[in-house]
Amino acid sequence: MRQVLLDARLLPDPRTPDLILDDAALAWRDGVIEFAGPRSALRAAPDDVITRCERDLLLPALIDCHTHAVWAGDRIDEFAERQRGASYADIARRGGGILATVRATRAASEAQLIEAALPRVKALIAGGVATIEIKSGYGLDFASETKMLRVARALGQLTGARVVTTLLALHALPPEFEGRRGAYVRAVATEWLPLLLDQGLVDQVDVFIESIGFSVEEARVLFRAAERLGCPIKAHAEQLTLTGASALAAEFRALSVDHVEYLDALGVRALADAGTIAVLLPSAFFALKETQLPPIAALRAAGVPLAVATDLNPGTGPQRSLTAALNQACVLFGLRADEALLGATLNAARALGVHELSEGLQVGTPADVARFSIARWEELCYWQSGVSARAIYCRGRLIG
């Protein structure tokens, strides 16, 4: 049968958000769009199943291209400690921070991790998201990283959302490798990555390149291995300091570099030349009360495509609404609403290498569609608390 949405306002291409078709129709079969245009041009088919949209706005479903949505335990006490004046470093010294989440995640079963993560993923979907990137990085041993990636795949099956998985074993040094950094990096690059790719659990690889994470040279070891294996790469780069991570990532034609608050002119040039997307994570910036703003004007001037994501994670990103993150990107980073919308749709698709979603709603593309009861598309960026979708379809299937 063919699904048909009628009486809609259609925003098919976020590159031209003001070109909205009034009295539009959208139709798909087997999850692939067959018609997108004025209702008057739609020819009825005998197997049409019709939904009337009451003049709601239809647009490409949103894409959250950077999350750490799978974890066990919580960091709520840490939040309270920080409110009482403790620094992130104080908390880490007392055994908190990422390593607290690692202990809890290692101890949790797959079922427990699914139970914990499912409401987070459903919250993202309720806000109009149909594609979600989920990273590992709280396991930090082979079995626990495998477990996290299996949970990410299961969340895709359970919710119907498209889940893109990322191996982030180089997130923090696991305690058992204290003093043996090189051995850990080599194990991830030469043993874990090929095995996990073989099992179909990894779509791309990521590294936390930072003074408190891994060095540019350590990241290079992993990127070389990923390149040999044909695995796309991305990096947490220039979040807290300038490390040169973006230039390294660009050298390897990374899909994206994420955070980029401390990015310099050289890094901007490197991203532009490589066609790498800069992913902005304003909710982490907000949570850490950072003051160093990403160089938006320079990125714009160089033509680097911008994306926006939630960075959903237990420590620095308790953000379950992508449209709330769009609001923060506009308010905190000075993005225009059209840039934010593009950053949560077509550019986010490019940041994940999901190229079939990088051209908008067209005949022949997947029916990943969000339906919002809003008068103007700018409301997606305007409301501080985010906006709920009235319906959300992934590959033509209603998922929320």
Check if the beta carbon of residue 113 is closer than 8 Å to that of residue 148: yes
Contacts with Zn ion: how many residues (CB under 5 A)? 1
**Cα separation, 388 vs 395, whole angstroms:** 20
Give the residue with the Cβ less far from Zn ion, 203 or 368: 203
Give the residue with the Cβ less far from Zn ion, 134 or 367: 134
| Interface pattern 106-145 for Zn ion (x via CB under 5 A) | ----------------------------------------
What phi, psi does 188 have (nearest 5°)?
A: -65, -45
| Interface pattern 291-330 for Zn ion (x via CB under 5 A) | --------------------x-------------------
Closest CB 316 distance from Zn ion, rounded Å: 8
| Opening angle at CA 197, ends 123 and 210, nearest 5 | 65
Element (H, E) at 257: strand 256-259
User: In sequence order, which residues have a C-beta less than 8 Å from that of residue 178 and are 6 or more positions away?
Assistant: none
Give the residue with the Cβ less far from Zn ion, 28 or 285: 285
DSSP letter at 359?
Answer: S
Give the residue with the Cβ less far from Zn ion, 11 or 72: 72
Ranked by CB distance to Zn ion, the top (closest) residue is 311
Closest CB 221 distance from Zn ion, rounded Å: 21
Give the residue with the Cβ less far from Zn ion, 159 or 239: 239
Closest CB 238 distance from Zn ion, rounded Å: 13
Closest CB 113 distance from Zn ion, rounded Å: 18
Closest CB 320 distance from Zn ion, rounded Å: 15
Closest CB 171 distance from Zn ion, rounded Å: 8
Closest CB 207 distance from Zn ion, rounded Å: 11
Give the residue with the Cβ less far from Zn ion, 64 or 311: 311
CA-to-CA separations, 359 to 14, 263, 309, 333, in angstroms, rounded: 9, 28, 19, 25
Helix residue ranges per DSSP H, the chain = 76-83, 88-93, 98-107, 110-126, 142-159, 181-187, 193-198, 216-229, 245-251, 265-274, 282-287, 296-302, 322-333, 337-343, 346-351, 379-382
Q: Which of 3, 63, 55, 1 is nearest to 367 (CA)?
A: 3
**Cα separation, 23 vs 39, whole angstroms:** 6
Residues that bind Zn ion (CB under 5 A): 311
